[in-house]
Structure 1
Amino acid sequence: MTGKILAERYEVQRQLGKQTGRQTLLARDLQTQELVVIKQLFLGGDFEWQDLKLFEREAETLKSLSYPSIPRYLDYLEIDEPDSKGFALVQTYVEGKTLEEHLRSGRTFSESEVKQLAKSLLEILIYLHEEQEQPVIHRDIKPSNILLHSRSAHTVGQVYLVDFGSVQNQAAKFGGTITVVGTYGYMAPEQFGGRSVPASDLYGLGATLIYLVTGLHPTELSQQDLKIQFADRVSHLNPSLIDWLGWMTEPSLEKRLSSAGEAWLSLKNPRPIHKSPMVVQQPPGSDIKLTKNSEFIEIVIPPQGIGFGLIALLSAAVPASIFLLPGVFSAYISTYNSEINHQFMLISGSFFLGAVGVIFLFAIFRKLRLRIDRQQISYSSHLLGLRWNNSKAAPRPDICQLEIEEIKSLMPDKRPELYKVSQMIIQTGHQKYRLGVKQGLSESEIEWLATELSQWLGLKIQRTLTDGKKNKWF
């Protein structure tokens, strides 16, 4: 292959890459003496018309682009030789190494270099997405498609985005057939459904930068609700950069940065990051179930069980029932007045035992569930398959305050520093949702749950000291 002349003009120097039905060559243009890259698509047994469609789209796209960081279109050829038939795209040659090659050779990137690289690539995407008559979506941004030229010890050098073989423009988007293209791990979730938008390229860029800062491909990192979990591996980075990378790779289009311009500005001017002043772990021995993700937070409080108070109540209920219930046996042999008295005793005893039974049933089987999602807050009880609302549901945006109310010590003169947590209150416009000692929560559990809710809601915990006469904010 070396030394072969294509189209009587391009002398092959060496092969740069090869795939089934394709190859990429480095050649010299004999007219200009410049090095060029030739991408070839062969008509063979593995040929598909969709491959030709993408190949021609790449050529047409490069022909319409003019940007220093994108290879320039030079020529388009038909190959008609005895041993090969197909098409060839000729473009300018960019000398340099890909990000993939840099990382495999052991090179690392500082936080400053990562930001330089991000800004350079975002400027390319601003050109592709926002400065064309029809937005051009690359659809395959990954480490092997990004070249660095003249990298020094303090700068990443000139950044190039190459390989537009998966490109999609707005006209092609509505052309009929939808093709799923991209590289697993760097493809935004919507691309698996054949949908690509400018924000899809932002996901690929974010995933690429995550590879740079962790040294691991996104497929090698764990996921939660399709979101790449990488923050625990890059604690040395500025929290604002970690937040930005997470924002770029949000699985949901609605939550992801929507444009390259917006991403560039948010990298330069990071959004505020809410930080909780303390981290509170679930107390040891607590049976409360807490479920929290980006869509909802749910607290399930198990049945309180039979405590000392219920045992004392049962101890009192048994003798009382022995005294009251015998009236049923004497009711038939007594005078009229006695019969009324016995019936009254019977009803009273039955009601008393029934009430005690209900209390025990609630203690053994009733669960409480507080749930807040993006739409509303609800608070309900669940008992043996039955469900009822403890409070009326309220719209999520109405939540305006999170409060821990504390009650003053019963012995203020002897222990004035001693306070007992009474309850946590979630305040909406006209409603309060309360969780506390009445629901069987300990002080440490209330503190833990309040901290979790504070972080999820983005609300500061207000604390109220109550002495039975007035409230004091502090």
Structure 2
Amino acid sequence: MKGKILAERYEVQRQLGKQTGRQTLLARDLQTQKLVVIKQLFLGSDFEWQDLKLFEREAETLKALDHPAIPRYLDYLEIDEPDTKGFALVQTYVKGKTLEEHLRSGRTFSESEVKELAKSLLEILSYLHQQYPPVIHRDIKPSNILLHSRSGHSVGQVYLVDFGSVQNQAAKFGGTITVVGTYGYMAPEQFGGRSVPASDLYGLGATLIYLVTGLHPTELSQQDLKILFADRVTHLNPDLIDWLESMTEPSLDKRLSSAGEALRSLDENPFVINKINKNLSAMQPPSSELKLTKNSEFIEFVVIPPQGVGFGLIALLSAAVPTSLSLLFGSYPYVGNINNSLINTLIIMISGFFLAAVGLMFICALFRELRLKIDRQQISYRWHLLGLKWNYSQPSPREEICQLEMEQIEYVLPDTQQNLYRVYQVIVLAGNQKYRLGVKQGLNESEIEWLATELSKWLGLKIKITWPYLPMTGCGG
């Protein structure tokens, strides 16, 4: 094999790997004198068309990507030799050892190195998921992550390789369900042929669990598909353990949903008090009229009605109706005087407008809905009235959501063992925008706690606590 020339250009140096129907070679490009990697797919007796589909998709994906931590597409070849037929993908060579090789050689990773590695890979995933359509790797695992130039103070340059299982948003709508990935690192939804950006987060979380425990996920116990590892890493910061558990939640509704959210959550201020997050009400109060709809694509809260019909509005309506009718039907002397037609018209217009305004206020109080909705694209906060919609606050891109807060009436030091803080509003920060739901929108304390808990689980953000005299830090920290 060594010395063989492919396509009259690539001189084989050695074999890097081999599987049934395919192999990976290290070769030298005779035109540039640089080392390259050649992945070959053979048309043999065990060939399946789905393999070629994935192989071509890998080539097309790499051709469209341009990132220093991802191998670059160089060439695509058809192999037509007397004893061999197939296809070959040529890509840049990345020098380094895989995480798998590092661990097998006895190398260990400190907590700071694990976090550094996580941040580097999340930045790569953020780049992939922000492509149009989004690119989902689907096979994040230790053997597909390379480290180069690792030093005692840094993990070195991190690379993500092997896009043979890649899926983009356009490709997933085909009629054939393809289950790809590696058992132990595959998110549960991948077993059903479904992959979303959060599926890559699961693979990354499982990989990092392998780093901190030294055991593959398949070697660890599970409960309801959840990887149980916390008892083996008692030396780790509890916040990092919580974060890894959020990355590997079997349920998409509970898992961190984007690389950006995972990065922000990893960097979260230690000022967050876990006790508060864990003791907030997780159940909707029985008498609550707050409506919740959520799935993996969006979460929406509907306040119906945001404010009831109070005594003041009823009194205003009671006074407005007889007054307006009296004006309209000429109970005042000027109205029946034909010489004052202009005044007559103005009085009728004013009384009609007044009656209509009060009536509209009454209808709004009964039928107006306030809706806070977050989907994969944006966060919106709108009034809805009989099919009409208008913004309560301007929408913001989903990726700008950086913080979830509950503002408190008073502050009690955590070590005093006193009751938890009383809350009066939930605030979602997205860039410079603040979206509030609280007592001003007709919610009580139990509803606010439940709302915050549901938002926290869906967004993958812990709840930060603020007080009237402590300003919010905002997205800038």
Same fold, judged at TM 0.5 (above):
yes
Is 1:28 aligned to residue 28 of structure 2? yes
Is 1:5 aligned to residue 5 of structure 2? yes
Any idea what SS the aligned residue of 2:125 has?
A: helix
Is 1:169 aligned to residue 172 of structure 2? no
Q: How far does the alpha carbon of each residue in 1:280-300 deviate from its partner, in whole angstroms, 9 at most, with x for none?
A: xxxxxxxxxxxxxx9xxxxxx
Any idea what SS the aligned residue of 2:274 has?
A: coil
Any idea what SS the aligned residue of 2:170 has?
A: helix
Q: How far does the alpha carbon of each residue in 1:37-96 deviate from its partner, in whole angstroms, 9 at most, with x for none?
A: 000000000000000000000000000000000000000000000110000000000000
Any idea what SS the aligned residue of 1:79 has?
A: strand
Structure 1: any 5+ residue segments left out of the alignment? 277-293, 295-371, 377-392, 398-428, 432-457, 459-474
How far apart in 2 are the matches of 1:184 and 1:218?
9
List, as ranges, runs of 4+ consecutive aligned residues in structure 1 with deviation greater than 2 Å.
Answer: 270-276, 372-376, 393-397
How far apart in 2 are the matches of 1:394 and 1:42?
65
Q: How far does the alpha carbon of each residue in 1:230-259 deviate from its partner, in whole angstroms, 9 at most, with x for none?
A: 111111111111110001001110111110
In the other structure, the counterpart of 2:228 is 229
Q: How far does the alpha carbon of each residue in 1:310-336 deviate from its partner, in whole angstroms, 9 at most, with x for none?
A: xxxxxxxxxxxxxxxxxxxxxxxxxxx
How far apart in 2 are the matches of 1:157 and 1:176?
42
In the other structure, the counterpart of 2:136 is 137
- Amino acid aligned to 1:157: G
Correspondences of 1:412-427 after superposition (within 5 Å):
none
Measure how far apart 1:104 and its partner are. Answer: 0.3
- Amino acid aligned to 1:89: L
Correspondences of 1:283-298 after superposition (within 5 Å):
none
Measure how far apart 1:275 and its partner are. Answer: 3.9
Measure how far apart 1:174 and its partner are. Answer: 1.2
Measure how far apart 1:127 and its partner are. Answer: 0.3
- Amino acid aligned to 1:232: D
**Pair 193,273 (structure 1): closer, same or farther in 2 beyond 3 Å:** farther
**Pair 87,217 (structure 1): closer, same or farther in 2 beyond 3 Å:** same
In the other structure, the counterpart of 2:72 is 72
In the other structure, the counterpart of 1:178 is 177
- Amino acid aligned to 1:199: A
How far apart in 2 are the matches of 1:106 and 1:430?
53
- Amino acid aligned to 1:125: L
In the other structure, the counterpart of 1:128 is 128
**Pair 430,227 (structure 1): closer, same or farther in 2 beyond 3 Å:** closer
Measure how far apart 1:430 and its partner are. Answer: 13
Q: How far does the alpha carbon of each residue in 1:399-441 deviate from its partner, in whole angstroms, 9 at most, with x for none?
A: xxxxxxxxxxxxxxxxxxxxxxxxxxxxxx999xxxxxxxxxx
Measure how far apart 1:178 and its partner are. Answer: 2.0
Q: How far does the alpha carbon of each residue in 1:328-358 deviate from its partner, in whole angstroms, 9 at most, with x for none?
A: xxxxxxxxxxxxxxxxxxxxxxxxxxxxxxx
- Amino acid aligned to 1:201: D
Is 1:245 aligned to residue 244 of structure 2? yes
In the other structure, the counterpart of 1:312 is none
In the other structure, the counterpart of 2:156 is 157
How far apart in 2 are the matches of 1:168 and 1:239?
34
Is 1:44 aligned to residue 44 of structure 2? yes
**Pair 394,31 (structure 1): closer, same or farther in 2 beyond 3 Å:** same
Correspondences of 1:4-403 after superposition (within 5 Å):
4-130=4-130, 132-269=131-268, 272-275=272-275, 374=283
How far apart in 1 are the matches of 2:134 and 2:166?
10
**Pair 274,396 (structure 1): closer, same or farther in 2 beyond 3 Å:** farther
Contact 1:99 1:148 in 2 (8 A): yes
- Amino acid aligned to 1:141: I
Contact 1:375 1:396 in 2 (8 A): no
Contact 1:373 1:396 in 2 (8 A): no
Contact 1:214 1:230 in 2 (8 A): yes
How far apart in 2 are the matches of 1:23 and 1:430?
62
- Amino acid aligned to 1:140: D
Any idea what SS the aligned residue of 1:141 has?
A: coil
Measure how far apart 1:270 and its partner are. Answer: 5.2
Measure how far apart 1:224 and its partner are. Answer: 1.3
- Which has the greater radius of gyration? 1
How far apart in 1 are the matches of 2:177 and 2:94?
31
Measure how far apart 1:395 and its partner are. Answer: 6.9
Contact 1:69 1:159 in 2 (8 A): yes
- Amino acid aligned to 1:102: H
Any idea what SS the aligned residue of 1:44 has?
A: coil
Measure how far apart 1:374 and its partner are. Answer: 4.8
In the other structure, the counterpart of 1:354 is none
Measure how far apart 1:176 and its partner are. Answer: 2.4
Measure how far apart 1:273 and its partner are. Answer: 4.9
How far apart in 2 are the matches of 1:273 and 1:218?
29
How far apart in 1 are the matches of 2:240 and 2:80?
52
Q: How far does the alpha carbon of each residue in 1:104-162 deviate from its partner, in whole angstroms, 9 at most, with x for none?
A: 000000001001000000000010001x1210000000000000000001100000000
Measure how far apart 1:29 and its partner are. Answer: 0.3
Contact 1:149 1:157 in 2 (8 A): yes
Measure how far apart 1:177 and its partner are. Answer: 1.6
**Pair 145,205 (structure 1): closer, same or farther in 2 beyond 3 Å:** same
Any idea what SS the aligned residue of 1:263 has?
A: helix
Any idea what SS the aligned residue of 2:179 has?
A: coil
In the other structure, the counterpart of 1:329 is none
- Amino acid aligned to 1:124: I
Tell me how many residue pairs correspond in the alignment.
291
Q: Which has the higher contact order (CA 8 A, sep 6+)?
A: 2
How far apart in 2 are the matches of 1:124 and 1:72?
14
**Pair 430,251 (structure 1): closer, same or farther in 2 beyond 3 Å:** closer
| Worse-matched range after superposition: 222-231 or 204-213 | 222-231
- Amino acid aligned to 2:205: G
How far apart in 2 are the matches of 1:266 and 1:134?
25
Any idea what SS the aligned residue of 1:16 has?
A: strand
Contact 1:244 1:270 in 2 (8 A): no
Q: How far does the alpha carbon of each residue in 1:186-217 deviate from its partner, in whole angstroms, 9 at most, with x for none?
A: 00011111110000000000000000000000
How far apart in 2 are the matches of 1:64 and 1:111?
35
Contact 1:240 1:270 in 2 (8 A): no
**Pair 176,273 (structure 1): closer, same or farther in 2 beyond 3 Å:** farther
TM-score by length of 1: 0.59
Correspondences of 1:434-449 after superposition (within 5 Å):
none
Contact 1:99 1:147 in 2 (8 A): yes
How far apart in 2 are the matches of 1:270 and 1:166?
36
Contact 1:42 1:87 in 2 (8 A): yes
